[in-house]
A and B are shown apart, each in its own frame.
Chain A
Amino acid sequence: MNNLFEYVPGNSFIHRLNPITKLLLTVVICVAAFVTDRLPVLLGLLAVNLLFGLIAGVAGRTWNILRGLLKIAVFLFLLQALLYRGGNPVFWIITDQGLLTAGKVVLRLVVVCMPLTLALAVTRISDLTNALTQVLHVPYPYAFTLAATIRFIPQFVEEMNGIMEAQTARGIPFDTARGLKKFSMIVPLCAPLLISSVRKTDQTAAAAEVRGFRLRTRDSAYKRYPFSAGDFAVFACCAAILAGAILL
């Protein structure tokens, strides 16, 4: 979980794409997953995601995302399959229609969760911020806020783990507790964690400020973000994916 949002350095085709293109692909995959109601299309979208991960050379990360989603996917599948009424019974109260619907729900979840995590794995957040301001003309403070949020997730998790380790060392059984019990043990830790985070965030804001945060404009970034042939190729893919999802 800790490194699920971390950048994986590389120089693949996907790494070199314009950050905006990656963002567009992410959005297109998500939209397509909600537009379509057909299993083959969803499977196709899953394949697109896997291909994305493979080309980007982040197979390990892709696998981690899938594994992370496994528990909730199984839970959702069972819930849907058990609750669905209608169709021909296959086994006990489970029907063929139920299985199909459950499969689609789970696939949709996986297909929607994957692209953003993958895109973040192969995009430097600063490139994302720069491209958002340069290409899409998003005001810098908004782009910065987005970047800071993404950046703070791992730090927050790291700190939470630190506190839990310290508590475990004092004999509080964080490591063995599960589910709701663990959750109820974590909640009281949130207040102190939040206070220390707020102070840290405030310092980060100061760090940005003393390095000219307010002077930054659309043209400040050293790097430029033009679209290349590869980007246009991906645009074409995006159009094809959308068309496929709507028409099939």
Chain B
Amino acid sequence: MICIQDLSFTYKNGTEPALREVSLTLPDGDFLGVIGPAGAGKTTLTRAIAGMIPHHYTGDYYGSVTVNGLDTVETPLDQISRLVGTVFQDVESQIISPVVEDEMLYGLENFGVPRAEIPRRLEEALGMVGIADLRERSIASLSGGQRQKVAIASILALKPQILVLDEPTGELDPRSSRQIFTLLRKLNEEQGITVIIVEQKIMLLCEFARHLAVLNEGRVMRQGEVREVLAHAEDLEAAGVNCPRVTTYSRALSARLGERQPVCVDLDEAEALTRRLMK
């Protein structure tokens, strides 16, 4: 369980708070999507959950974050890192090794995974993301999307209980993006791994996430189940977050017909609504 209470944070060399009185609670095994405009504080939120704030990034810190009952301020970063695996937004800076295999090994070696287990973990993680063939390649020879997959695989290999992914599909094509989301859902459902994902592709978020949190100017504007959050589409759009087209469609219908229609979050629902209205 992750519990964030009244968290406010200003980076040491920042002027404005990057997060303002953020409160969020995630039960174990949740799948949370985080969305918001540029500079809203999404990355900062992921850093706070992973303990990089305040252990690596210092600044003015108010409130508290607990991960599985451990206060991130008091717990050493290494201990939090064993629980929380983070995929960074900027892949370039996440990858420290020049060759894929070494990047995969790095965390496994440091966290003392038994030698006998390392090859299996490595192959498994590469296989899950579908890049087993890239194992011996140098990072410099990979495309942006391939690098992103390496970054994801290197974190999956560590088998964290909580996965934090900051725009992990930014460089991926639609098909690979969907593959990653499908993989996350599988890990979430079969192994009960908690997933927190920052993502701009709202359609994917609505399809795969259980809860949504909308951030704007460091505040959580809305949080709750996907459908509840989408019901407040006007607020989201005011904050610069585009809603799925089907949601916009059902809202437009409500407006035109002058009566409130249910909010659609996927194509099936939109089809059902359309059919009902056509009758």
Contact A210 B86, CB 8 Å, known A3-B140, A216-B110, A222-B108: yes
Asked if B128 lies at the interface with its beta carbon under 8 angstroms from chain A, I say: no
The segment out of A53-61, A168-176, A197-205, A239-247 that lies at the interface is: A197-205
Least CB distance, B144 to chain A, in whole angstroms: 13
Identify the closest chain A residue to B76 (Cβ): A214
- In the bound assembly, the distance between CA atoms of A208 and B92 in angstroms comes to 13
Question: Which one of B55, B77, B92, B118 contacts A155 once the chains associate, using CB atoms below 8 Å?
Answer: B92
User: B110 contacts A209, CB within 8 Å?
Assistant: no
Of residues 80 to 135 in B, which have CB atoms within 8 Å of A's CB atoms?
A: 81, 84, 86, 88, 90, 92-99, 102, 105-112, 115, 118
Asked if B56 lies at the interface with its beta carbon under 8 angstroms from chain A, I say: yes
Question: Which one of A6, A9, A211 contacts B110 once the chains associate, using CB atoms below 8 Å?
Answer: A211
Contact A207 B93, CB 8 Å, known A214-B78, A222-B118: yes
Residues of B within 8 A of A208 (CB): 96, 106
- In the bound assembly, the distance between CA atoms of A220 and B170 in angstroms comes to 33
Asked if A154 lies at the interface with its beta carbon under 8 angstroms from chain B, I say: yes
Interfacial residues, chain A to chain B (CB-CB below 8 A): 3, 6-7, 9, 124-126, 148, 151, 154-155, 200-201, 203-216, 220-222
21 A-B pairs with C-beta separation under 8 A: A3-B140, A9-B137, A124-B102, A125-B97, A151-B96, A200-B93, A203-B88, A205-B56, A206-B52, A206-B56, A207-B88, A207-B96, A210-B50, A210-B51, A211-B106, A211-B111, A211-B154, A214-B78, A220-B112, A221-B109, A222-B109
Beyond contacts A209-B81, A212-B111, A222-B115: 10 other A-B pairs, Cβ-Cβ < 8 A, are A126-B99, A126-B105, A154-B140, A200-B92, A205-B56, A207-B95, A208-B96, A209-B52, A212-B107, A215-B110
